[in-house]
């Protein structure tokens, strides 16, 4: 499913503007790898290719200036990372939500539009768990 999913905010706000199985788009920048958005910066490539390979060290960049919530885009389907990742986030007092990457992109845009301090770590929308 393709489409423009960005709310109407300032041009300097990092928002997802599109996606498909093999890419994620933020403004006019197209990324063909997993990525993260934290502290107003995009990091790409980010993380493993599959959720089952996600480890706590992939999330260490979110510890300093922890967000209100960390969205984890899990690829094609909603799933949860291994218990070590969940324990790590709990130990760091970082709230998180896991959802498929398409839903994570839309949710991120909504939360940013509400002025929330949100970060996202996401696999490509077509990634298999």
Number of H helices, E strands in the chain: 2, 8
Max CA separation in the chain (angstroms): 38
- The verdict on residue 128 lying in a domain is no
Pairing of strands 41-43, 96-99: unpaired
Q: Three-state SS for 50? A: coil
Q: How high is the pLDDT of residue 6?
A: 47
Kindly indicate the confidence band of residue 129, based on its pLDDT and cuts at 50, 70 and 90. confident
| Domain interval for residue 112 | 16-122
- The verdict on residue 58 lying in a domain is yes
Model pTM greater than 0.85? Answer: yes
Domain CATH for 88: 3.40.1230.10
- The verdict on residue 4 lying in a domain is no
- The verdict on residue 11 lying in a domain is no
Q: Three-state SS for 69? A: strand
Mean pLDDT of 36-56: 96
HSE-up of residue 114 (Cα within 13 Å, Cβ side)? 10
For the cut 70, the answer to whether the pLDDT of residue 122 exceeds it is yes
Q: 42 has which bridge partners?
A: 37
Q: What is the mean pLDDT of the chain?
A: 92
Q: What is the domain count for the chain?
A: 1
Report how far Cα 19 is from the mean position of its chain's Cα atoms: 12
């Amino acid at each position: 499913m393709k489409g423009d999913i960005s709310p109407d905010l300032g041009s300097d706000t990092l928002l997802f503007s599109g996606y498909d199985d093999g890419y994620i788009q933020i403004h006019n920048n197209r990324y063909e790898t997993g990525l993260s958005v934290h502290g107003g910066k995009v990091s790409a490539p980010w993380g493993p290719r599959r959720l089952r390979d996600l480890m706590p060290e992939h999330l260490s960049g979110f510890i300093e200036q922890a967000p209100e919530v960390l969205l984890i885009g899990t690829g094609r389907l909603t799933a949860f990372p291994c218990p070590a990742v969940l324990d790590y986030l709990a130990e760091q007092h970082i709230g998180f939500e896991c959802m498929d990457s398409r839903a994570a992109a839309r949710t991120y845009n909504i939360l940013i539009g509400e002025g929330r301090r949100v970060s996202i770590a996401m696999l490509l929308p077509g990634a298999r768990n």
